[in-house]
Amino acid sequence: MPAEIPADSVGLVTPQTVTFSAPLELECGRALPGYTLSYETYGTLNAQRNNAILLCHALSGDHHAAGYHSMDDRKPGWWEHLLGPGKAMDTERFFFVCANFIGSCKGSTGPASINPETGTPWGLDFPMVTVRDWVKTQAELADHLGIAQWAAVVGGSLGGMQVMQWTMDYPERLRHAVVIAAASKLTAQNIAFNEVCRQAIMTDPDFHGGRYYAHDTKPRRGLSLARMIGHITYLSDNAMRTKFGRDTRGGKAFSFGFDVDFEVESYLRYQGSSFVEHFDANSYLYITKALDYFDPANAFGGNLAEAFASTQAAFLVISFSSDWRFSPERSREIVQALYTCNRDVSYAEIEAEHGHDSFLMPIPQYVAVLRAYLGRVAEEVGA
């Protein structure tokens, strides 16, 4: 826990929830009979209500983007380095909103929620959700908050996909789009990684066809393995070499067995076991499927420029040199498509050794780019 809350932190924050009772028509053809969103806000909405920025989280993220829920918290929200008073995402100038998307397990309606028709958890009866569905719920949240137009929508990784969907589905409702470490669709390799992770979960004997809640258990081994596989893809080879090398655990000699010998093995096992304690396995399945399905150009014969043709926002696209999960090439495809349809777009490729996780790090060049761009947005809206 923090000895004291840093002066540049948003401090103690309280999650909020809102429940929408009207059925939510989903892209898969089914509907949710109402749903709940958990969200947090940071900063103050001005009198003109034009300084609001929506933050979109990634696969294992949630609505807790910054600050602390209590003085007992071990660590702050996931974008603490960037979000707060005087930071690149300045809460003294903007009002930030971050919502946990449906299908997740951090307070918003998902597979672990109660199905009102059965009185038991949805499990795999929960309808399939997509990035477009998430954006639709975020638009309803904006209506609830009285925000007609976002000054910007910002997101990294899967969050960046939500940003792109916002520009296409609600072009008049955002002025700026900040797409960080994202792609307009997953490569076959990325889909393959997701499928291996899903199979690790679904073949765990404790999965019980997704109804493990009724058995008072969870597929710990499968979800832990899925997290370990995923985590490897978030880091670059250089980052792993620098952090672990071939160091043995505690400097000890080889065990000549199958216990943990190397520090990197210990790290991955820790990541897997800790993830199991705070994330739902079914949610992992649904979210990775939403990742796989995202491909806005598909409706336009694969032409991404046509998919962006109706957008009105100005764009900032950021990639990281060592990110092989969502490589700079994927970001340049987005930029080229935006150029083709004459959109206002800025692009920065940041030199970084952290791999895909770079978008969560306080890398000086990255921070400077975000600060400069959002400073421009603040001047534009008078924040």
pLDDT tens digit at each of 383 positions of the chain: 566 888 899 999 999 999 999 999 999 999 999 999 999 999 999 999 999 999 999 999 999 999 999 888 889 999 999 999 999 999 999 999 999 999 999 999 999 999 999 999 999 999 999 999 999 999 999 999 999 999 999 999 999 999 999 999 999 999 999 999 999 999 999 999 999 999 999 999 999 999 999 999 999 999 999 999 998 888 877 777 877 778 777 788 887 878 877 888 888 888 888 999 999 999 999 999 999 999 999 999 999 999 999 999 999 999 999 999 999 999 999 999 999 999 999 999 999 999 999 999 999 999 999 999 999 999 999 98
Would you put residue 260 in left (φ > 0), alpha (ψ -120 to 50) or beta?
A: beta
Q: Check: CATH 3.40.50.620 for 193-287?
A: no
Residue 61's pLDDT is 93
Which amino acid, residue 99?
A
* pTM to 2 decimal places: 0.95
Considering the candidates 204, 280, 323, 357, report the single residue annotated as catalytic.
323
Query: From CA 212, how far away is CA 134, in angstroms rounded?
Result: 26
Q: Are 347 and 181 within 8 A, CB to CB?
A: no
Q: Note the CATH number of domain 16-185+295-381.
A: 3.40.50.1820
Residue 228's pLDDT is 92
The domain locations on the chain are 16-185+295-381, 193-287
Considering the candidates 113, 236, 356, 358, report the single residue annotated as catalytic.
356
Considering the candidates 60, 157, 283, 331, report the single residue annotated as catalytic.
157
Q: Catalytic annotation on 184?
A: no
Cβ-proximal residues to 129 (8 Å cutoff; 6+ apart), any chain:
26, 27, 28, 101, 102, 103, 286, 290
Query: From CA 104, how far away is CA 111, in angstroms rounded?
Result: 8
Q: Quick check: do 16-185+295-381 and 193-287 share a fold?
A: no
Phi, psi (rounded to 5 degrees) for 350: -90, 130
Q: Catalytic annotation on 157?
A: yes
Residue 250's pLDDT is 78
Q: Catalytic annotation on 176?
A: no
